[in-house]
């Protein structure tokens, strides 16, 4: 399962439900930064079929692995052609996960940002 966040209202609802505690502050701050960029450039009232893009959040690595191939196929994304890939914050978050952020440009005015915990390997 994943969550599609398109604007500030979606981000507020997600953060209130899942990331409202202090241990997720870095993740919530980064999410708001991404959403503010999209809302500022493309308007917060855009529809899913309009330009601008959105953020997809995967709660855990298993969900990411389960769904990412069909998302890549649907949007015709080559997984090695990301615009950037980064770790959010300074490594592991207090919940023990190392969250990653990937940006894919679908066109000159449309993008997808994936936020997901990286694979957890023993002792990593």
Pairing of strands 84-87, 110-117: unpaired
d(CA 70, CA 63) in angstroms, rounded, equals: 12
Question: Which one, of 75, 70, 71, lies nearest residue 105 by Cα?
Answer: 75
pLDDT tens per residue, range 23-57: 889 999 999 999 999 888 887 777 666 678 899 99
Stated pTM of the model: 0.88
d(CA 54, CA 119) in angstroms, rounded, equals: 23
């Amino acid at each position: 399962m994943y969550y599609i966040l398109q604007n500030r209202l979606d981000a507020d609802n997600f953060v209130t439900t899942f990331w409202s505690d202090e241990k997720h502050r870095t993740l919530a701050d980064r999410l708001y930064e991404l959403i503010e960029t999209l809302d500022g450039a493309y308007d917060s009232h855009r529809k899913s079929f309009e330009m601008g893009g959105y953020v997809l959040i995967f709660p855990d690595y298993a969900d990411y692995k389960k769904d990412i191939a069909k998302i890549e196929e649907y949007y015709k994304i080559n997984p090695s052609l990301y615009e950037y890939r980064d770790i959010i914050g300074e490594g592991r978050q207090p919940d023990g996960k190392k969250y990653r952020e990937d940006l894919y440009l679908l066109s000159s005015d449309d993008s997808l940002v994936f936020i997901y915990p990286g694979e957890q390997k023993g002792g990593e």
